[in-house]
Amino acid sequence: MRNAVPQEIEITKINESKISQVDFENLAFGKVFTDHMFICDYVNGEWQTPKIVPYGPLTLDPSARVFHYGQAVFEGMKAYKDDQGDTFLFRPDENFKRINKSAERLAMPEFPEEYFFDGLNTLLKLDDQWIKSGFGNSLYIRPFVIATQPSVSASEADEYRFMIICSPAQSYYSGDVSVLVAEKFSRSASGGFGYAKAAGNYAGQFYPTKLAKEQGYQQIIWTDSNTHEYVEEAGTMNVFFRINDTLLTAPVSDRILDGITRKSLIALAEKQGYNVEVRPIKVSEVVDAFNNGSLKEIFGAGTAAVVSPVKAFGYKGEHYELEKQENSYASYFKKSLMDIQYNKAEDSFGWRTKV
């Protein structure tokens, strides 16, 4: 991360911080935002002068194409503060690469690397007091791009807005979750844009998840769109299965998000000598493993939740309760990853980046 504030960024500071109004002991995820936000517009084929301004509402034309054709992509990142008061990001280069990969799939312009990192670095330093020390505390960072050109003609826009907003966070999920294996609905399809962090991917999940909640489940394990025989993701996370002492997860594809937490857990597990298999996994294999006692754990992995254990799953009208594991893989990998993120352990991978 660069330390100097670039001359290109125009900064307008708030008159008075709202931080004194925030109860940091009782934060609802994603509902409280810091004092400032980063904005950069794309007009006439060029990204304009980036700005940092007080957090507040936007004014957009009702015909802005994001409202009509869904050109919107985003990222999820976190900043962590250690016990000495230093702030770190976790693999931010991966977020930068992925948001541009997502943008390309939706015919949106690539955002410059210098603007991304200088803007993020400056914003985090400006709102540093919002980043609290303490294991589990973090600042959730949401970069996103939307199509702002006023027009309802069905084609890609010529004007866009790149933004970064930040929200202080604690744990995303409280406790273990129950999931329902999808038999009808799909998160994405081959040839689509499931690998992109596009807004529409998430909008399409809400209705099936609503139906699952009516049956007593919190999330869905998504299956492939062709046969619904293979597991792919869990809710908004990548998903792992522990069968005996082997850790299994599905390979990424044009349907499955290349999760940064996912690839980090795989690297951690392999370095520690765990047996890891990245391959297609049938739902029937998971059910058989449960029935013969070899299915030990299921857990989701993502930026917001880090690692979210699954206590039960439903499939074809049957409910399967997993036994609580002593010294679970989920708790071990979560602590190992967070120790790196919070500067409590050596980072032999070079993932931690100081702000």
Give the tokens for residue 196: 């992109």
What domains lie within the chain, and their CATH numbers?
A: 10-170 (3.30.470.10), 177-341 (3.20.10.10)
Helix/strand/coil for 233: strand
What is the rounded CA–CA span in Å between residue 264 and residue 172?
19
CA atoms within 13 A on the CB side of 11: 19
The residue type found at 293 is G
Rounded to the nearest angstrom, the gap between the alpha carbon of residue 319 and the centroid of all alpha carbons in its chain is 28
Residue position matching structure tokens 């230093």: 86
The total number of residues written for the chain in this structure: 355
Instruction: Pinpoint the alpha helices (H) of 159-214.
Output: 199-214
CA distances (Å), origin 144, targets 36, 113, 156, 274 = 15, 14, 17, 36
What is the rounded CA–CA span in Å between residue 18 and residue 2?
28
Q: What is the DSSP letter of 260?
A: H
Instruction: Note the pLDDT of residue 173.
Output: 55
Q: Which residues contact 217 (CB under 8 A, 6 or more apart)?
A: 177, 178, 179, 180, 314
Handedness of CA 62, 65, 68, 71 (dihedral sign): negative
Instruction: Note the pLDDT of residue 304.
Output: 82
Q: What is the helix (H) or strand (E) element at residue 219, kind and residue range?
A: strand 219-223
Residue position matching structure tokens 């015919």: 107
Q: What is the largest CA-CA distance in the chain?
A: 63
Q: What is the helix (H) or strand (E) element at residue 311, kind and residue range?
A: strand 306-315
Instruction: Note the pLDDT of residue 179.
Output: 96
Instruction: Note the pLDDT of residue 305.
Output: 80
Helix/strand/coil for 148: coil
Instruction: Note the pLDDT of residue 4.
Output: 47
What is the rounded CA–CA span in Å between residue 158 and residue 147?
8
Report, in this order, helix, strand and coil percent for the chain, each rounded to 5. Answer: 25, 30, 45
Helix/strand/coil for 20: helix
What is the rounded CA–CA span in Å between residue 321 and residue 314?
9
Ordered per-residue pLDDT tens for the chain, 355 residues: 444 444 589 999 999 999 999 999 999 899 999 999 999 999 999 999 999 999 999 999 999 999 999 999 999 999 999 999 999 999 999 999 999 999 999 999 999 999 999 999 999 999 999 999 999 899 999 999 999 999 999 999 999 999 999 999 986 656 789 999 999 999 999 999 999 999 999 999 999 999 999 999 999 999 999 999 999 999 889 999 999 999 999 999 999 999 999 999 999 999 999 999 999 999 999 999 999 999 999 999 999 888 999 999 999 999 999 999 999 999 999 999 999 999 999 999 999 999 9
Instruction: Pinpoint the alpha helices (H) of the chain.
Output: 65-69, 92-105, 113-126, 199-214, 260-271, 283-291, 329-341
Phi and psi torsions of 296, nearest 5°: -95, -40
Q: Which residues contact 109 (CB under 8 A, 6 or more apart)?
A: 42, 47, 103, 160
